Amino acid sequence: MKKIHVSTGKPYDIIIEKGVIDCAGSFAVQLSTAQKACVVTDTNVAPLYLDRVVKSLESAGINTVTHIFEAGEKSKHLGTISEIYATLADFRMTRKDIIVALGGGVCGDMAGFAAASYLRGIDFIQIPTSLLAQVDSSVGGKTGVDLPQGKNLVGAFHQPLAVLIDPDTLGTLPGEFKTDGMGEVIKYGCIKDAGFFEKLQNENAWDDIESIIETCVSIKRDVVSRDEKEAGERMLLNFGHTLGHAIEKLNDFSGITHGMAVAIGMVMISLAGEKHKITPAGTTEKIAALCEKYGLPVSTRLSVHEIAEAAKGDKKTAGGSINLVLLNSIGDSFIKKTALDDLEDFITV
């Protein structure tokens, strides 16, 4: 078992261990006085792991209900949150009870937001089952949903009681979702760790995936511990995301996954950095080659104008400007505030 401690305002541990999914109940009773739990999951994950988690919780003496929503980013909206609230209310959940998020990033974001807002806040446990959720979205307390106008525009910071990462769940992931998660994995090398980037270049990440997960989680733990509410350094975790979110929105959140859109966004923003003599020449080529190695796209048919206009609705805009994450070099990132009116020209190459 590997334990990574997160020192936020509400500290918690991330546990990485094969089979830990069957220990949800024991962690729940150790960390809370909950008498009830609601397991939130989706139609893809429920047939695979829901029974095991419910059995673990009920064996620990916790009365459990489930809420299953239709899998996919298209479910990540306030309507689904309202349906989760109804399940919680019908089950008469109290502030002492807990939600368990069982699934990928969409599930964790929504279950976490429901936990942050129901009864003005109840506890929750993250059990991420996708690579993207295990290396990124389950850690750090960001929760939320999409609006038609953009991705993750409604949400809250709400740290979990614990994050239970079972690498065995990756064995049931379809290939597309393995590829999806690698977008976030590569991001960590780009922004914080050139040695990790080289490891991904020289080796096959899937040959040592537990170590890959641990490295990503440790990097994010360090950043979040220093900047829990994204006032500064945590913005670096958005490398590739500003343009990636715009690409997702323009595709109506279907046909391209989050990690794939982020890969395109990383390549686009790196090219812009090279154009403006900020990022060393050849950096984009290295990033694109690594993305392609793991099956990620590096270009889109969407126009720069379309992407720039869509990005102007991103949550990272403030006072007529937007925060872009650029690279001084691989492993060394920084934030550049750019006027919204200049965004299209900045990213046009």
pLDDT digits (tens, 9 = 90+) for 76-87: 999 999 999 999
Phi, psi of 4 (to 5 degrees): -120, 120
pLDDT at residue 179 above 80?
yes
Q: Which amino acid is at 154?
A: V
- Stated as kind and residue range, the H or E segment containing 88 is helix 78-90
| pLDDT on residue 313 | 83
| pLDDT on residue 280 | 98
- The pLDDT-based confidence of 149 (bands split at 50, 70, 90) is confident
Helices then strands, counting H and E runs in the chain, come out as: 13, 12
State the burial class of residue 99 (Cβ atoms within 10 Å of its Cβ: 0-12, 13-18, 19+): buried
| pLDDT on residue 134 | 97
* Residue 238: count of CB within 10 angstroms of its CB: 23
- Best CA proximity match to 134, nearest among 233, 15, 231, 51: 15
Measured between alpha carbons, how far is 239 from 271 in angstroms, rounded to an integer? 13
DSSP for 290-346, written as a single string = HHHHTT-----SS-HHHHHHHHTTSTTEETTEEEEEEEEETTEEEEEEEEGGGHHHH
| pLDDT on residue 89 | 98
- The pLDDT-based confidence of 25 (bands split at 50, 70, 90) is very high
pLDDT at residue 316 above 80?
no
- Best CA proximity match to 124, nearest among 146, 102, 104, 144: 102
- The pLDDT-based confidence of 317 (bands split at 50, 70, 90) is confident
CATH class of 175-347: mainly alpha
Interval 216-233: pLDDT, tens: 999 999 999 999 999 899
| pLDDT on residue 237 | 97
Q: Which residue has the higher pLDDT, 349 or 19?
A: 19
Measured between alpha carbons, how far is 206 from 318 in angstroms, rounded to an integer? 39
CATH class of 2-172: alpha beta
- The pLDDT-based confidence of 314 (bands split at 50, 70, 90) is confident
Phi, psi of 200 (to 5 degrees): -65, -30
- Domain ranges in the chain are 2-172, 175-347
| pLDDT on residue 319 | 78
DSSP state of 137: I
Angle of helix 175-192 relative to helix 194-202, nearest 10 degrees, comes to 140
| pLDDT on residue 155 | 97
Phi, psi of 214 (to 5 degrees): -60, -40
pLDDT at residue 121 above 90?
yes
Measured between alpha carbons, how far is 20 from 96 in angstroms, rounded to an integer? 23
Across all residues in the chain, what is the average pLDDT? 96
| pLDDT on residue 8 | 93
Beta strands 162-165; 317-318: pairing state: unpaired
pTM assigned to the model: 0.94
The 3 state secondary structure assigned to 5-71 is: EECCCCCEEEEECCCHHHHHHHHHHHHCCCCEEEEEEECCCHHHHHHHHHHHHHHCCCEEEEEEECC
Contacts of 99 (CB under 8 A, 6+ apart): 37, 38, 39, 40, 88, 111, 112, 114, 115, 118, 122, 123, 124, 125
Give the three-class secondary structure for 77: coil
Interval 278-307: pLDDT, tens: 999 999 999 999 999 999 999 999 999 999
